[in-house]
Amino acid sequence: MFAPAPPPPSPLPPTSNLGFRRDVVFPDRWGWRSSRSCTRLEPARLRSLAPGIDGVAPGDEPRAAAESAKQFRDSPVPGAPHNVLSTVGKSTNILWHECPVGKIERQKLLGQRGCVVWITGLSGSGKSTLACALSRELHYRGYLTYVLDGDNIRHGLNRDLSFKEQDRAENIRRIGEVAKLFSDAGVICIASLISPYRKERDACRAIMPDSTFIEVFLDIPLEICEARDPKGLYKLARAGKIKGFTGIDDPYEPPLNPEIVIQQQKGGNCPTPKAMAKEVASYLDNNGFLKA
């Protein structure tokens, strides 16, 4: 008789989309925490370590469920009282629900810190160009980004908004809230839009925690932006066919204390997209955003 074939070796833990090794999970006070181990746990071992998940020993389900619910109920919820219904804006009787997998866990999985890179400047200053160049630069380095382009957002989420002052403010508010969600997910979110009013930009900064709002001001003179006129909008504004156009008959309020200012170089030349992207990427690296 032939001897039975040896069992195949235990597979390594799966990797994430970015190639990072996923850790095996163990229970903690929330019900879960990440382990440093890269060994595969057998089902019996998991059952003994993780009551309350798939594989709970027969008869232990009610006790495990009760303990898990108590742990979650008694856990601290940042900024929200326990079991208290709230009114926020026009929303009534709402309750904040905290998830046991939080921002720190997501950042460790991705190997980066979530933040918002908010690029502001006149139309034609190069905001979208910088956003795409920065996204490409960070992608090549192995970091996850997402670009929120002002025009792209108006194709969907904000297509019900006009360019009147009140709607422009709401446009910025919505994008700021979406950017905050991306940052909370551990993603480096790159928001590219004129955002002409200081008040709205500062409001977006105020909802971001721990200095994770990085304002990048493209300080490119109006005459250069108008000479570029990639969409032909300055020409239409000068002809009176567009009203309330930023830089022509509507003001642009430059940031007072942006984290990064990009200006034209000596001799009147503007920096290349790659050079601008590297400058912003260096800021992210030097300030710890490119590591968990």
Residue 134 and residue 281 in contact, taking contact as beta carbons nearer than 8 Å: yes
Q: Left if phi > 0, otherwise alpha if psi is -120 to 50, otherwise beta: which for 141?
A: alpha
Residue 157 and residue 243 in contact, taking contact as beta carbons nearer than 8 Å: no
Q: Which residues are catalytic?
A: 195
Can you state the percent helix, strand and coil of the chain, rounding each to 5? 35, 15, 50
Residue 252 and residue 196 in contact, taking contact as beta carbons nearer than 8 Å: yes
* d(C-alpha 49, C-alpha 41), whole Å: 10
Residue 145 is classified by DSSP as E
Residue 1 is classified by DSSP as -
* d(C-alpha 191, C-alpha 202), whole Å: 14
* d(C-alpha 256, C-alpha 219), whole Å: 12
Contacts of range 221-225, beta carbons closer than 8 Å, 24 or more positions apart: 221/264, 222/122, 222/247, 224/124, 224/125, 224/264, 224/270, 225/122, 225/123, 225/124, 225/125
DSSP secondary structure, 55-73, as one string: TPPTT-HHHHHHHHHHHHH
